[in-house]
Amino acid sequence: MTYGGGSRAGWRTAQVGGLLALAIGACLLTALHLVPPASEISPIRRTLSEYALGPSKWVFDLALLLVAAASAVAFAEVARRRLSRSATALGVLWTVSLLVLVTFTKTDWSIGPSIGGLIHRYTSVVAFLALPAAVLLLARPVFPASAGKRWLARGLSVFSLLWFGTILAAIGYMMSGGPAWWRFLPLGLIERMLVGSAVAALAVLIVGLIRLRPRDTGPAMSSPPAESRYP
């Protein structure tokens, strides 16, 4: 059976491949915490991008590229099924942001500030917000008949955004006279919780896309019944 520009089996296989790429990318990021010399970086105080400043940069970059590939496949399916234009746009932002993060590494403060580091910082903000927001918009159309999975996707997305909110709260505290937010906040831990929950939400979304049937996408993907087409 073919629909929407390709066979159902072909699109499903692509999603399974994307889920596998996402899992491998997550495993590579986890390995950076366990294998020297990258394991010497504090996961509490240092952000994930710190790995890109050392000899393990290629592992970090490969992990992000795998996640980007999985994301591209997932949001291509979202666009093909016309589930949500807003979510598709956010998914594109997230995917492109990952590529930008690979291209521009974070600032190496032992050398000094750089334009590339500034681009990396603001791109990270876009990425942190875009993915959970996209999953929130897609939870209902991807899981129309499964409240449990729908709320799991939403819960992970909200959890990710709440972690980002702690950074905003810390910035507000600093502006009211408190210490520099990056000094008293366990930024590495917060970022790992933020990213981990967002990527988990993406995994749940991909599983939903794999199982989503043509008729679950609504009237745009199917013809109206014969009795409704004639008076």
Tell me: the pLDDT tens digits for 50-84?
999 999 999 999 999 999 999 999 999 999 999 99
CA atoms of 71 and 53, how far apart (whole Å) = 25
In the chain, the percentage of residues whose pLDDT exceeds 90 is: 79
Whether residue 198 lies inside any domain: the answer is yes
Q: Nearest-CA neighbor of 138 among 69, 205, 222, 221? A: 205
More confident position, 179 or 228 = 179
Task: Give the bridge partners for 6, in sequence order.
Answer: 3
Whether residue 9 lies inside any domain: the answer is yes
Whether residue 171 lies inside any domain: the answer is yes
Whether residue 114 lies inside any domain: the answer is yes
Count of domains in the chain? 1
Whether residue 167 lies inside any domain: the answer is yes
pLDDT for position 216: 54
Whether residue 146 lies inside any domain: the answer is yes
User: CB neighbours of 85 closer than 8 A, spacing ≥ 6?
Assistant: none
Question: What dihedral angle (degrees, nearest 10) is formed by the CA atoms of 130, 135, 137, 141?
Answer: 150
Whether residue 191 lies inside any domain: the answer is yes
Whether residue 42 lies inside any domain: the answer is yes
pLDDT for position 58: 97
> Considering the chain, what is the average pLDDT of its residues?
90
End-to-end CA distance of the chain: 30
Domain with 118 in it: 2-216
pLDDT for position 178: 86
Q: Does the structure show a pLDDT above 80 at 218?
A: no
Q: What is the pTM of this model?
A: 0.88
CA atoms of 17 and 154, how far apart (whole Å) = 23
pLDDT for position 11: 85
pLDDT for position 230: 34
